[in-house]
Amino acid sequence: MSLPLKQRKHVHHLKKYEGLTSTKRKRAPETPTTTSSIKQTTLVNTRTVSQRSIDKAIVTYVVQGFRPFHVVEEQPFQDFVKELQPIAKIMSRLTLRSMIDDASRGMKRAVTEAMRGVDHIATTTDCWSVRRRSFIGVTAHWIDPDSLKRCSAALACKQLRGSHTFDVLASALNDMHSEFEIRGKIVRTTTDNASNFIKAFNIFGEDENNNAIGSDGDHGSAPQPGEEEDDQEGDEEVECVDVSALLTEDDGLEFQLPKHQRCACHLLNLIATVDAIKATSNEAYKKVYRSTFGKCSALWNKCGKSTLAAEMVEPSSCCARIPPGGTPCSWQWKDC
């Protein structure tokens, strides 16, 4: 039997007690007892790579790494690919070569299409010899008309047969310009100061007025009125000439090259080497020049022939941390 309210103790705590007991408490989660209620660990899904992606990656690896075609037939390379993708199929070197040829033709079409909408293009070219072979390389540079972004592309790197004569270089450049349909768009072609390039552009190139320069230096200007009258007065006799011989005759003007631009870096190199030697005409400078560079050459040759000498002249780690205005240590010993 409950007591009356006035007879209860701690009456002032009754409302607090009712407030605490009226709220519902959350039931604690029960510990799972069966294995069926335990959440299983999700395994990491293995990425599936298509065969086309694998072939593309192999082609990129061979081309950008300058790898030989037979690398795809080597067992260590096949084991490496199989370890990453067990279901992958490795192509043969013949298939690899065919895919590279297709990619090259596709890239050539893309570059040609990109330069088709450009009106002004500049090119650079150079030729060199390595491992008893001669090569010529050509690059193109232009400004995108829409984004005004500078664009560059390597047009060719081909092997040259025979000597690097001016007519061979002119023929190779003319073929490359025609192949990419940019013959009439090239404003300048930059080369070094080699005599074969200079002669090729002097004979087959254009002058500052965009006039073709012939082998005799004639710019193709129109004859003067007086000269035309003199020719007409002297044409009293008619000489028969074989037309077939004229058609088959090589006049040396079958190529048309753009204006020539000499490389500024190569000019500076010539100034620092060839032109600087002319200063040796002064006997006082010549004496100091030969003495200084003789010692430098002897030191360089000694370091190239002796590892002990190279270690002795190598700057130490403390010399590499010299503060501004500080005094360097002696270079005689590495552990200074």
For the chain, give the secondary structure using H, E and C: CCCCHHHCCCHHHHHHHHHHHHCCCCCCCCCCCCHHHCCCCCCCCCCCCCHHHHHHHHHHHHHHCCCCHHHHHCHHHHHHHHHHCCCCCCCCHHHHHHHHHHHHHHHHHHHHHHHHCCCCEEEEEEEEEECCEEEEEEEEEEECCCCCCEEEEEEEEEEECCCCCHHHHHHHHHHHHHHCCCCCCEEEEEECCCHHHHHHHHHHCECCCCCECCCCCCCCCCCCHHHHHHHHHHCCCCCCCCHHHHHHCCCCCCCCCCCEEECHHHHHHHHHHHHHHHHHHCHHHHHHHHHHHHHHHHHHHHHHHCHHHHHHHCCCCCHHHCCCCCCCCCCCCCCC
pLDDT of residue 100: 94
pLDDT of residue 233: 45
pLDDT of residue 198: 92
Domains for the chain: give ranges and CATH numbers: 51-104 (no CATH), 119-220+252-281 (3.30.420), 282-336 (no CATH)
pLDDT of residue 326: 57
pLDDT of residue 222: 42
- Across the 336 residues of the chain, what is the mean pLDDT of every consecutive 10-residue run? 58 76 62 51 62 92 93 94 90 94 92 92 92 92 92 92 88 91 92 91 75 48 44 50 53 73 89 82 88 92 90 66 54 44
pLDDT of residue 224: 45
